[in-house]
Amino acid sequence: MPAAPTLPELYDAHAAGLFHYFASFTGNEADAKDLLQELFIKLARQPVPAGIANLRAWLLRLAHHHAIDWLRRHRVRRDAEEAAPVEVFATHADPDQAELAQRLTRALALLPLEQRSVAQLKLWDGLTFEEIAEVQGIPLNTAASRYRYALEKLRSELRPLYDELKPS
């Protein structure tokens, strides 16, 4: 059995993805950084349990519960659902790429929190629907339908940009 990863190894491998996941909940970079720090403090105090088959899914499940607790503590669920996600796309010198990043960020902000978090886990973190269901504590069909609804809304919002940019 391989040795449990050290805290620095966990941070190097997973901090960026966890930060973006927290940002999808908070809509605020500072709060996302605070949540990330709190999560790693918690991880420093308790070792990673032995026998975890999917470390990334386990960390995302911890992050999900931590974010939900944060939302409850701060009573900002409605504000978080309406908040724009933190700019997660790199800035681009190319104006078309910059416009796409801005419009995608705005389109993501229009999604309900439940759909936005599922879309992030699927599209940016590469989780399967089974892993998403486990991370969020929801049925598999709910994870899949939230993803489907998110994609439909993103397509609808981004269709004008696609039509504008597609080659004739």
Interhelix angle 140-165/95-110, rounded to 10 degrees, is: 140
Alpha helices in 27-139 (DSSP H): 29-45, 55-74, 77-82, 95-110, 113-123, 129-136
Cα–Cα distance list, 68 to 13, 37, 75, 98, 114 (Å): 23, 16, 10, 32, 11
**What is the model's pLDDT at position 109?**
83
Domain assignments of the chain as residue spans, ordered by start: 7-165
* pLDDT score, position 84: 47
Give tens-digit pLDDT for 84-132: 455 555 565 677 777 777 888 888 888 888 899 899 889 888 889 999 9
Q: What is the CATH number of domain 7-165?
A: 1.10.10.10
**Average pLDDT rounded to a whole number, residues 134-155:** 92
Angle at 59 between CA 74 and CA 91, to 5 degrees: 75
What pLDDT, in 10s, does the model give residues 58-96? 999 999 989 888 887 776 545 544 554 555 555 656 777
